[in-house]
Structure 1
Amino acid sequence: MKNIIFIFALFSSISLFKSQSITIDINDSELNKPTGYYRKDIHNILNQFEGTFLYTNGNTSLKIILVKKIKQYNSSYYEDLIIGEYQYIVNGVEKSNTLSNLDVVYNNQYAKHAIAGVSTIDNNFRGWKCLQCNSNEQRLDSKIIDRITDRHATIYMRKTVVNGQEVLQVKVTDILPDFENMNPPDFSLPKGEFTLIKQ
């Protein structure tokens, strides 16, 4: 009986080691990969998105802080990703501030942080075409959670330079419907396209 248990444990360990040893680039397809593989930012595309970025319009501002996380487990596989939190001020009044959650380590970093992304898009992506992008430029397809209303939306991000200043151009769109609420509150964060300056 001990031999059977030992052999089972040995094969389980080999199987686990084999699945964890599979590494793919974040731009590669995830189809037919075994549980436990690693979706790695091999070319460090995500690094450019790290930092503190600020959008201002009069007394209204949106500050976003983004951090790259390495080899985070999401209950199925490991991945490198960008996580972030924000502070939103409207007419001088703070409406939402999740910045204190930036260092919180969740079981699933992607699902729990206010901003998270790992998928890249090219300049022909139909959700946000970019005629001025370089042919090999990679932008980030992420999600953002409105902590006031718990509504989710897509936030596309492009890191670039405008007039010698590093900026993050974003588009907040595709607000997900709230199927549990017949009259859901409006998404309270800024929507549309705007530019945040790197601090």
Structure 2
Amino acid sequence: MKNIIFIITLSISTLACKAQTPIISLDDRNEFVNGAYYKDLNNELNKFVGTWVYTNGNTSLTVIFQKKVQVYNDEWYEDLLIGEYSYTVNGREIVNTLLDLNIADPYYHSIAGNEIIYKNNRPSCSACTPTERRVLMFFDDPDPNRKHLSSYLAIRYIKENGIEKIEAKLVSIGTRAIPEGAPTEPRVPYGDYVLVRQ
């Protein structure tokens, strides 16, 4: 009887060991491992969570970021920063995806990503220190006439005089052909934005 209990215990222990997922830091992704968990071990994503607003004259951009933990993408698990936004010019709402924050699938958000980048990674950051970390994400415009556009949003967290800010750079990836006569930018124009925590 003792032998049977020992064999069952050994079998369960072996299965449990095989079922464990390797945990890898988000900033250490040289190669993807199926079944791994790419975890935000340094809490790089946490500082971006919340509501952020950019204003310049009559133009405003509001972005809300949320952190999703241990999301499975059919190959591996990962911590992910997702977001939605609204953009207003002269009191007229140009685009508003904020209600999409309720979408359950983290990969169906207008802003999503978790790639840790440094000073010289594209898009480069002249004000960044060599070891400073930023986050790179995909940025989508839900307008069907702009589905051909592929854009990145690079965000940098800074704190000036006690005020929390995000320096954001919206750039084109430039990997898809633009149909003749189609828009060449998302409704939020490419460029630099400084957003303040609300």
- How far off is 1:125 after superposition? 2.3
- How far off is 1:142 after superposition? 1.0
- How far off is 1:93 after superposition? 0.6
Matched, 1:100 2:96: no
Structure 1 residue runs without a partner (length 5+): 1-9
| Structure 2 counterpart of 1:55 | 54
- How far off is 1:183 after superposition? 3.4
- How far off is 1:27 after superposition? 0.9
- How far off is 1:136 after superposition? 3.3
Matched, 1:142 2:158: no
Gap change, CA 1:19 and 1:141, over 3 Å in 2: farther
Gap change, CA 1:180 and 1:122, over 3 Å in 2: closer
| Whole-angstrom CA distance in 1 between matches of 2:181 and 2:18 | 49
- How far off is 1:24 after superposition? 0.6
The normalised TM-score by structure 1 is 0.81
Once the two structures are superposed, what CA deviation does each residue of 1:164-192 show, in whole Å capped at 9, x if it has no partner? 31111011112445437343223221211
The normalised TM-score by structure 2 is 0.82
| Whole-angstrom CA distance in 2 between matches of 1:158 and 1:20 | 33
Residue 139 of structure 2 aligns with an amino acid whose one-letter code is: I
- How far off is 1:97 after superposition? 0.7
Once the two structures are superposed, what CA deviation does each residue of 1:60-117 show, in whole Å capped at 9, x if it has no partner? 11100001110001121110010000011122111111111112111xx23x110012
- How far off is 1:135 after superposition? 4.4
| Structure 2 counterpart of 1:115 | 111
Once the two structures are superposed, what CA deviation does each residue of 1:113-151 show, in whole Å capped at 9, x if it has no partner? 100121111123252123x33443211111110122233
Partner SS, residue 146 of structure 1? coil
- How far off is 1:21 after superposition? 1.4
CA RMSD for the aligned pairs? Answer: 2.3
| Structure 2 counterpart of 1:7 | none
Residue 121 of structure 1 aligns with an amino acid whose one-letter code is: I
**Amino-acid identity (%):** 37
